[in-house]
Structure 1
């Protein structure tokens, strides 16, 4: 499920109601009062119904005769949907979300680096190199964040596994904000070396080394986060 455009009345209602569901303001089992949403957001019944159809496609709500529209159990939600990932991160319990994200990255990315080492093309190597080349001698936080995202996207693309490529949505949602926090507080000088080590291993088609380098990179990221929290 691709993310729903956050534009116009439909997009606004989708985002606001979706965020409220994810935040627990509308707990599972809660009946969604359509007329209340009409009044609250000052929109037509058509807009509300379209928004609820989008949220139903994401597994958040359902409708039954005589019962109306209600919030589905969390186990039914499409938790990997890009919008849900973003709404979870924007919620009050984003520390738990970031912890989950770190675990997923540790499972996915080292093996992704191993696959990339075996399958990368010259174009893949160029994309990885370009991401790191964008980091100047005195980079801004924004430059590092963009380079980091570009590098990890390119690495997943180099696996040539379309399901792994889709994992970028999971990684990118939290990674951007995490990077903004960490690199705004420093840690800029230690950005390039671990990424360069991953790239060198992928270029050398050394799967073991690529996996180890990616694991070391993620462990460094975890240490940076712990230092900020201490």
Structure 2
């Protein structure tokens, strides 16, 4: 999905307002001063209102007579929306991203991906295997840099969800992708992460063999490694710790 910031003044206004709300700079329940925002952001009132319609569609703001436009309670926000997820992670660092958000992502992945990989093992086609193999090959290339490694990892997990041939599970990439990309940026920028290829290879081998139980075990091992790598990047796990207790 193209970030709103690449969509001109309207998109930049959406991004600015969204991040202020998500960061708490504009707190829940606050009424927005549209005239002041219009002046500060140097946009027309029409452009500002159109931007607020985007946030309203995502449950973040609402407008009422006599009250004006206000920030809704977090419980009303569409936290599974791809843009909302990306806005929460955008601009974060290993020390700056809300740890609870990454923890929640880890729990979601722990529920979705082991179950999804069982379906992938049962339903995969030769085309699915080719996509997984291509992503794994790209993951093993050492000269592409961190951005290349991140995209290869995302491609692998997208291909796994696609191999389930369940269109609702395929859409779960919107939930996983933003957080996974951010986690990968942290991990691949750290010198202490484990080589991701063997754990991903184990998943692919089990999917190719159509061994559902082995595929689930391999995915759980992969997710354990993901936690260890993130802990090392955050400095909460010694770089020399092999993490065998988590296996």
Q: Which of the five TM-score ranges fits, normalised by the shorter chain?
A: over 0.9
- Cα distance in structure 2, aligned partners of 1:189 and 1:88: 26
Could you give the per-residue CA deviations for residues 38-86 of structure 1, whole angstroms, max 9, x where no partner exists? Answer: 1010110110110011110010011111111111111111101111101
Q: TM-score normalized by structure 1?
A: 0.93
| Superposition RMSD in Å | 1.8
Q: Which residue of 2 aligns with 1:74?
A: 74
The answer to whether the aligner puts 1:209 opposite 2:208 as a matched pair is no
* Counterpart residue number, 2:119: 115
**5+ residue gaps, structure 1:** none
State the Cα distance separating 1:102 from its structure 2 match: 0.8
- TM-score norm. by structure 2 comes to 0.87
Change in CA separation of 1:33 and 1:4 when aligned onto 2, cut-off 3 Å: farther
Contact 2:194 2:225 in 1 (8 A): no
Offset of 1:3 from its aligned partner?
Answer: 6.9
Q: Indicate the residue corresponding to 2:187 in structure 1.
A: 182
Q: 1:20-169 residue pairs with structure 2 within 5 A?
A: 20-90=20-90, 92-136=96-140, 138-139=142-143, 140-169=145-174
Q: Note if contact 2:62-2:69 (Cα within 8 Å) is conserved in structure 1.
A: yes
Given the alignment of the two structures, is residue 220 of structure 1 paired with residue 238 of structure 2, yes or no? no
User: Contact between 1:106 and 1:218, CA under 8 Å: does it hold in 2?
Assistant: yes
Measured in 2, the distance between the counterparts of 1:117 and 1:187 equals: 31
Structure 1 range deviating more: 180-189 or 115-124: 180-189
1:28–1:110: structure 2 CA closer, same or farther, 3 Å change rule? same
- Pair 1:28–1:189, CA change in 2 (3 A): closer
Using the TM superposition, give the Cα deviation of residue 213 of structure 1 relative to its aligned residue in structure 2, in angstroms. 0.4
Give the 4+ runs in structure 1 shifted more than 6 A: none
Cα distance in 2 for residues equivalent to 1:95 and 1:122: 39
Helix, strand or coil at the partner of 2:59: coil
In 1, Cα distance between equivalents of 2:66 and 2:108: 41
